[in-house]
Amino acid sequence: MIKLVSVLSKIILIIVFIYQFEVITLNNAWGADPAPNPPSSVSQPTKDQKSGKIPVQKPSTKTIQPTNSQPAPIDTETTPLSRNGRDAIEAYRHSWNPMTAGPNYMPQADSLPEGEFNGRFFFYGALTEGEYSDSGGINGLPQGFSKNQLLALFAMFYGVDANTELVFLPSLLGTFSSYQGQVTDGAGFNDTTIGIKHRWVIQDPETSRPSFSTALLVTVPTSSWLGTPLPKSSTLPPLSVVPSTHLGEPSLTAVFLTRKNIKPIRIYGDFLYSYSFPGSGVLPGSTKSTFNQYGDIAQYRLGIEDVINDQRGLGIIMEFVGLSGLPFSIDGNTVSARPNTFNILGVQPTFEVNLTERLAMSAGVLLPAFGTNEYLAVTPNFSLWYYWGGIDGKVLPR
């Protein structure tokens, strides 16, 4: 526990340092208002000494320089946008970016506006139909074995500023499983994840530059603390929304996100890396408590969204979701859990539509495509996404 507290303390200090550095950079990127021009001395017209007439002055062709009350517009054709400053934010907010529900399995790189809050309810039903061998073959389930799970996730996000977002991911887990004559039927709190996300680069509507963000997520084992019924057969993580970690184990997850809008297409790309802290417990198939070390988990996701109707948020998304259990841990400890390597790939067509100005819905079915040492499961799912707040009472999408 002391080691865990020490690691978390260092991570928090790093986050604070990065955030303060980013605020300074953002302020520098905004720049100061242009200084007013010094007053010019205007001479009074004088008469011509020979004719006695006042000569007619031609209009000046000089460009009037802007003052503090009239800032000069930014010429994006000659002046590149800053990385994530005010000019980049304004250019992005005035580009094509209709409000839609978005993917069901992918967090998004772009951030909520400052002060905006939204909540998204996800519901997943993982119906286990078979299992993959270590070579990728598909086998039926062992005699007397079954495993079906329901996950209700309440994802909440809050815009701290234009580029920083707080993340809170509590969820409920229901398990209906039998293994070697032991039946597990029940529900309770799943592991809980909290974190912070920062957008380092805002996509440029006029170039190929995408948005890029990173996040740090901390998962605490509330399922173990509160005695939630878990499958007796295995703690292999499913392809859940984010992050996929070993059930009942405290974990840290580093997240890298990117997104690009190219009307009428949005492209999403995510990579997540999870580390589970070692601890003592009873592994599946064992009867005594041992010191356990799980391998790290890499997750990779790609989404392609086609927005068919901007006003209604109507669209179709193809989501490609993958997860790999690695045979090592970044702390150098030997992995004791078995199997120590596993892989699972899934593909989902997702349908989305806006039900109201602030409420969006999406639904789909995740179909298994390939795996090794993992369960083959079909996962129907849907989500409802509601936005609170906004700027001047108007909701702005990410």
The pLDDT of residue 33 is above 50: no
38 falls within a domain: no
61 falls within a domain: no
Predicted confidence band at 184 (pLDDT cuts at 50, 70, 90)? confident
CATH of the domain at 188: 2.40.160.40
SS (H, E, C) the chain: CHHHHHHHHHHHHHHHHHHHHHHHHHHHHHCCCCCCCCCCCCCCCCCCCCCCCCCCCCCCCCCCCCCCCCCCCCCCCCCCCCCCCHHHHHHHHCCCCCCCCCCCCCCCCCCCCCCCEEEEEEEEEEEEEEEECCCCCEECCCCCCEEEEEEEEEEEEEECCCCEEEEEECEEEEEEEEECCEEEEEEEECCEEEEEEEEEECCCCCCCCCEEEEEEEEEECHHHHCCCCCCCCCCCCCCCCCCCCCCCCCEEEEEEEEEEEECCEEEEEEEEEEEECCEEECCCCCCCCEEECCCCEEEEEEEEEEEEECCCCEEEEEEEEEEEECCCCCCCCCCCCCCCCEEEEEEEEEEEEECCCCEEEEEEEEEEEEEECCEEEEEEEEEEEEEECCECCECCCC
How many domains does the structure of the chain reveal? 1
Q: What pLDDT is recorded for position 248?
A: 85
377 falls within a domain: yes
316 falls within a domain: yes
The pLDDT of residue 110 is above 50: yes
Structural domain of 266: 2-27+79-388
The pLDDT of residue 20 is above 70: no
Report percent pLDDT > 70 for the chain.
Answer: 75
331 falls within a domain: yes
The pLDDT of residue 171 is above 90: yes
44 falls within a domain: no
In this prediction the pTM is 0.78
379 falls within a domain: yes
Convert the pLDDT of each residue in 292-330 to its tens digit: 888 999 999 999 999 999 999 999 999 999 999 999 999
136 falls within a domain: yes
How much is the average pLDDT of 98-106? Answer: 93
